[in-house]
Amino acid sequence: MKAGKFGTLVAAIMTLAWTGGEAVAAQCGSTSAGYETWKQSFAEEAKARGVGPTAISALMGAHYNQPTINADRGMKSFHLSLDQFLAKRGGSIIAARGRKLKQSNAGLFAEIEQRYGVPPGPLIAIWGMETGFGSVMGNQNMISAVSTLAYDCRRPELFNDQLYAALKLIDRGEFSAGTRSSMHGEVGQTQFMPKTVLEYGVGNLDSSSGALMSTANYLKAHGWQRGAGYQPGEPNFAAIQAWNAASVYQQAIALIGAKIDSGN
């Protein structure tokens, strides 16, 4: 075999090895002990997939984020009844303030509804539920939070995708090594995960307009039908279900949204 063809064959085999995942996959763990070794291995995989030096540097500066693990192990509110969940998350407060925000931002919500077909109620309900209308967006290091969950053995495939998305956003200059997030890497006023930012982000997610437009864009992409209802059993409830997998959360958004849209 000629040297040129041999080199081409070796390159093809190496490409398959890198992109296949399993053969070179970084080893997950359930404690901090293996994180640094995993990070080195993941960085090599990421380089082979074309991730640039800025993002690799950010990953290498990340740390095992114990608060993220504690939060991931301790999520209990989604097991509450609807009434308990609404009480715990301040559903009546979100609805009351949401009605005022609908009026004070009428122009923005009219523009969003014209563009995406999504009325103010569910958007405001999500905005209030996720961050208290932008008041609490998280204070974790985003790349540390996401990489910790990508390393953790509970759901590595899910968060590997999120980590690659975060690295791509860093390479683009949309995120940085210092980007702040909530416990699982959620960013912005309606808490987009990195992959969701890549796919549906519109403008600056730290601003109310960018976050709300992005959320409407997400809902439209997941089947939102202009003018249709969004309560359980109605056409647009499926889009709310796509936003969050927890049944009690879905019901809360639909109920709060209806109270905002109806003015009651």
- Catalytic residue IDs: 130
The H or E element spanning position 180 is strand 180-181
Residue among 34, 175, 66 nearest 42 (CA): 34
Alpha-carbon span 94 to 132, nearest angstrom: 8
Burial class of 148 by CB neighbour count within 10 A (0 to 12, 13 to 18, 19+): buried
Yes or no: say if 88 and 80 are a contact pair by the CB < 8 Å rule.
yes
Helix, strand, or coil here: 187?
Answer: strand
Contacts for 174 with CB less than 8 Å, ≥ 6 apart: 197
DSSP string of 113-131, one letter each residue: HHHH---HHHHHHHHHHHH
Alpha-carbon span 246 to 262, nearest angstrom: 25
Q: What is the DSSP letter of 194?
A: H
Residue matched to tokens 């982000």: 201
